[in-house]
Amino acid sequence: MKKLILMLLVFALITPISEAKPKKQSPEKDGTMLVGTYNVWTKAARAGKIRRGQSPKYRNWDNCKEAVAQIIVDTGFDIFSIQEADAAVQEELPALVKKAGGKYAFWFCQAYPPESGRNACGGIVYRKDRFKLTDKHIFWMSPTPDEPSKGWDEKKYYRIAASAIVFDKWTGKRFHFMYTHGPLGKTANANSAPIIIEREKMYNKDGLVSIFVGDMNARPNSPFVQTIRTHYKDAIDVAKGRTTVEGTFTGANEDIKNLSMPERRIDQIYIRSNNPNAYEVLYYDVNTNKYNVGDAVTFPSDHCPVSAKIRIK
C-alpha cells in the first residue's frame, strides 16, 4: 500500500503542468468593450427650457446631476462620448462619476473660441485603467474645419468632431475613435458627413478598426446618415442582438413615447474596417432607466445613453 501511494505521488510530481486546462479569458481580455455616446444636457439649456415652461422644474441640473453620473456608471461604458458639457458639467461631472464608482478620464473638447465667452463642449470619456489616447485632433463642421467656425446654415452653434487613436492596455490592440455633436442646420448637417469621412481617412492612416459615435442630430433617413453609411456600418444593423427600443431622444418633456419612434434615433454608433472579420458587434442597447430626482422619477437627461458591445478580434 505504501509503495502504491509513493508511486502515485511520483506520478503527480512528474505530470507536466501544461496538461492542466487553461483558464478562460474574460470578455475584456478578449477585446470586448462597451462603446457609446450620451448627451448629458447642459445646465444652461435645462434652465432655459424650464424658464420657458417647456420642461418641469425638477429636471434642472442640480437635481439631475447625480443621476447623470449614476446612469453613466450603471450603463458600464468602457469608452464613450458626451455632448453638451458646459462649465458646470465640466466642473462637477467627473467628481460625481468618481463618487458613483466610475474610474474614467475625461478629454473635454472645446468648440468655441476664447473670444466668444462661451464654454460648451463635448468630449471622450474612457476607462483610465484600460485605455490611452494618442494622436488627438479636434475639427469643425464647416468649410474651414481646421479653425473655430460655424458651418453653412448653423448660425448659433460651433459644431466639432474629435478623433483619437486608442491603445487598449489590456489587449495591446489599437483602434480609432471619433465623435461629433452634429449641426442642427440641414445644410450644415448634410455637409458635415463628407468631412467626417475625409478626417477618418486622414487620422486613421493605419486602417485600424474605426468607431464613430455621437449625437448626430440626424434621423436615420437623413442625407447625413445616408452618406455616413457609404463608409461606416450602422451598429444597430450589424449587431447580433439588440434592444427593441430605437429612439434615443425623449425631449425636454420626457415623453417616453418618443423612444418607440425610429426617427428619434439621433444618437448613433458606427463602425468600419477594411477587413470585415476584424470586429463583431455583439449587442446594441439604449438605456431607458429612470432615476429618483427630488420627488420625481425621470430620465436624467433629454437623451438616453446608447451603447454597443463590440469585440475587436
Write the pLDDT tens digit of every residue in 165-197. 999 999 999 999 999 999 999 999 999 999 999
Gap between the Cα atoms of 196 and 302, Å rounded: 25
Strands (E) across 111-235 are located at: 120-127, 131-140, 160-168, 174-181, 210-215, 233-234
What are the residues whose beta carbons fall under 8 Å from the beta carbon of 262, sequence distance 6 or more? 220, 246, 247
Q: Does residue 286 carry a pLDDT above 80?
A: yes
- 214 within 8 A of 249, measured Cβ to Cβ: no
Is residue 120 within 8 Å of 181, Cβ to Cβ?
Answer: no
Question: pLDDT value at position 124?
Answer: 98
> What tens digit of pLDDT does each residue of 208-258 get?
999 999 999 999 999 999 999 999 999 999 999 999 999 999 999 888 888
Question: The C-alpha cell of 190 is what?
Answer: 448634410
Q: Identify the residue with better confidence: 4 or 313.
A: 313
Adjacency order of strands within the sheet including 104-110: 104-110, 120-127, 79-86, 32-39, 306-312, 279-286
Question: Across the beta sheet with 174-181, what order do the strands follow?
Answer: 131-140, 160-168, 174-181, 210-215, 267-272, 233-234
Residue 17 counted as domain residue? no
Alpha helices in the chain (DSSP H): 2-14, 43-51, 61-75, 87-99, 186-203, 223-228, 235-238
What's the pLDDT band for 120 if we cut at 50, 70, 90?
confident
- Residue 262 C-alpha cell reads as 425610429
Is pLDDT of 2 > 80?
Answer: no
Of the given ranges (16-30, 33-47, 103-117, 292-306), which has the lowest mean pLDDT?
16-30
CATH number at residue 201: 3.60.10.10
pLDDT digits 0-9 by tens, 200-215: 999 999 999 999 999 9
Report if residue 135 sits inside a domain.
yes
Give the chain's length.
313
Tally the domains of the chain. Answer: 1
Query: Residues 82-92: what's their mean pLDDT?
Result: 97
Beta bridge partners of 127: 104
Domain annotation covers residue 276: yes
| Range of weakest confidence among 87-101, 110-124, 156-170, 270-284 | 110-124
Is 206 part of a structural domain of the chain?
yes
Nearest to 75 by CA among 48, 100, 112, 92: 100
Average pLDDT over residues 279-284: 98
Compute the mean pLDDT over every residue in the chain, rounded to the nearest whole number. 91
State the pLDDT confidence band at 28, using cuts at 50, 70 and 90.
low
Asked if 304 and 246 touch (Cβ cutoff 8 Å), the reply is: no
Q: Within a domain: residue 13?
A: no
Which triple of cell numbers denotes residue 282? 455583439
9 lies in some domain: no
Q: pLDDT for 257-267, tens place per residue?
A: 889 899 999 99
User: According to the model, what pLDDT value does residue 24 have?
Assistant: 40
Q: Is 11 part of a structural domain of the chain? A: no
Strand, helix or coil for residue 246: coil
- Note down the domain range covering 298: 24-312
Instruction: List, for residues 29-38, the tens digit of each pLDDT value.
Output: 788 999 999 9
Q: Do the Cβ atoms of 196 and 180 come closer than 8 Å?
A: yes
Tell me, yes or no, whether 16 lies in a domain: no
